[in-house]
């Protein structure tokens, strides 16, 4: 691959993927090059599709296709009457973990991170829109499923406080979680019982 700038650039990019170093990046790239039509071409196409059509809703935080449109309350509210519960998580990986357990049916609200003591950026987290949603969608229960870390619990506390005037039932998973546990790293069984025993 000496002097092949294109390949070197590709290795640099692919090496940044989680769980991959330069060595596995090279293996993936070789596989692509050796299967240009069957693998490289479809990869390019699906990536381009995701790039073009998929983005995070800036109101509820979930991943949405541009075909569905989920930008702001006017389109999120179409779901209004379907569920009475919202599960609040830090990130999309957490949503996927909880969906995997099939224990929850309701809306997800993805904050996009946690409040950290050193760098409070509450404005970037979708907490204001959560409060608005709870009020406007007549939500009966908000399940706060933030991690059992200091940041996760600080965030949970802040959300609870923000919702105190809504009279909505608020429950938390934390009691059933191992200390320091991040939702996305929990096994299905632990997550399942934490959900069932939420308080
Ligand atoms: Zn939305």
For residue 127, the CA-to-ligand 1 centroid distance in Å is: 13
Cα of 67 vs centre of ligand 1, distance in Å, is: 13
Q: How far is the CA of 58 from the centre of ligand 1 (A)?
A: 7
pLDDT value for 157: 92
CA 72 – CA 160 distance, rounded (Å): 23
Distance CA 82, CA 17 (A): 37
- From the CA of 82, how far away is ligand 1's center (Å)? 14
Distance, CA 137 to ligand 1 centroid (Å)?
A: 13
Q: How far is the CA of 73 from the centre of ligand 1 (A)?
A: 7
pLDDT of residue 138: 82
In this prediction, residue 117 carries a pLDDT of: 58
Q: How many CB atoms lie within 10 A of CB 23?
A: 9
Using the structure block, give the residue that is written with the tokens 């050796």.
34
* pLDDT for residue 176: 63
SS3 content of the chain, % helix, strand, coil (to 5): 50, 10, 40
State pLDDT tens for residues 146-169: 988 888 989 999 999 999 989 899
| Interval between CA 72 and ligand 1 midpoint (Å) | 6
| Region 25-49 average pLDDT | 96
- CA of 121 from ligand 1 middle (Å) equals 21
The span from the first CA to the last CA of the chain, in angstroms, equals 58
Question: DSSP states of 144-170 as a string?
Answer: E---SSHHHHHHHHHHHHHTTTS--EE
Q: Do the beta carbons of residue 158 and residue 122 sit within 8 Å?
A: yes
| Ligand 1 centroid to residue 64 C-alpha, Å | 8
Enter the DSSP assignment of 37: I
**How remote is the CA of residue 123 from the centroid of ligand 1, in Å?**
17
Nearest to 111 by CA among 57, 161, 150: 57
We find that the CATH architecture of domain 63-196 is 3-Layer(aba) Sandwich (3.40)
Domain ranges of the chain: 5-54, 63-196
Predicted confidence (pLDDT) per residue in 54-99, tens digit: 988 888 898 888 877 665 445 565 555 678 899 999 999 999 999 9
Tokens of 103: 């224990």
- Asked if 125 and 145 touch (Cβ cutoff 8 Å), the reply is no
Give the Å distance between the CA of 51 and the centre of ligand 1. Answer: 18
Alpha helix ranges (H) inside 15-61: 22-34, 41-53
Q: Does domain 5-54 have CATH number 1.10.8?
A: yes
DSSP for residue 85: E
Give the pTM. 0.82
């Amino acid at each position: 691959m000496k002097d092949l700038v294109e390949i070197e650039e590709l290795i640099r990019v692919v090496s940044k993927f989680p769980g991959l170093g330069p060595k596995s990046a090279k293996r993936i790239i070789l596989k692509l090059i050796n299967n240009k039509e069957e693998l490289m071409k479809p990869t390019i196409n699906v990536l381009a599709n995701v790039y073009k059509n998929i983005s995070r809703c800036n109101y509820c935080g979930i991943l949405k296709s541009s075909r569905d449109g989920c930008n702001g309350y006017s389109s999120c509210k179409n779901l209004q009457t379907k569920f009475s519960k919202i599960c609040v998580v830090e990130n999309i990986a957490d949503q996927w973990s909880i969906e995997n357990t099939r224990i929850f049916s309701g809306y997800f609200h993805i904050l996009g991170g946690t409040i950290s003591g050193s760098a409070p950026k509450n404005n970037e987290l979708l907490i204001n829109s959560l409060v608005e949603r709870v009020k406007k969608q007549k939500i009966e229960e908000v399940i706060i499923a933030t991690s059992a870390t200091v940041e996760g619990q600080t965030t949970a506390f802040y959300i609870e406080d923000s919702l105190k005037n809504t009279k909505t039932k608020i429950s938390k998973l934390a009691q059933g979680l191992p200390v320091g546990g991040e939702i996305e790293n929990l096994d299905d069984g632990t997550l399942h019982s934490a959900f069932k025993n939420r308080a």
